[in-house]
Amino acid sequence: MAFTLYSLIQAAILCVNAVAVLHEERFLSKVGWGADQGIGGFGDEPGIKSQLLNLVRSVRTVMRVPLIIVNSVCIVLLLLFG
């Protein structure tokens, strides 16, 4: 029951880490989720898969530097305060 803002922040950091760690060539292209797959033709509305791939790629691009900072702060805080 005690699901507080603190655990939400923790969960958000872990989820963003999980998305950002997906590697384009080593993992995604082998599962069939590569950059050139799942993208429809011109004028097609993008499907769920391409939207998802787009989101993953954007998260990886945007969050790389902030994640380094946030993760190191997290590590230090957790080491200090348990």
Q: Residue 1 or residue 79: which is nearer to another protein going by CB? A: 1
Terminal alpha carbon distance of the chain: 22
Residues 55-74 close enough to bind another protein by CB under 8 A: 55
Contacts of 34 (CB under 8 A, 6+ apart): 24, 28
The only residue of 36, 41, 42, 48 in contact with another protein, by rule CB under 8 A: 48
Task: Say whether residue 5 binds another protein (CB under 8 A).
Answer: yes
Which of 2/80 has CB closer to another protein? 2
Find tokens 């902030």 and name the residue: 66
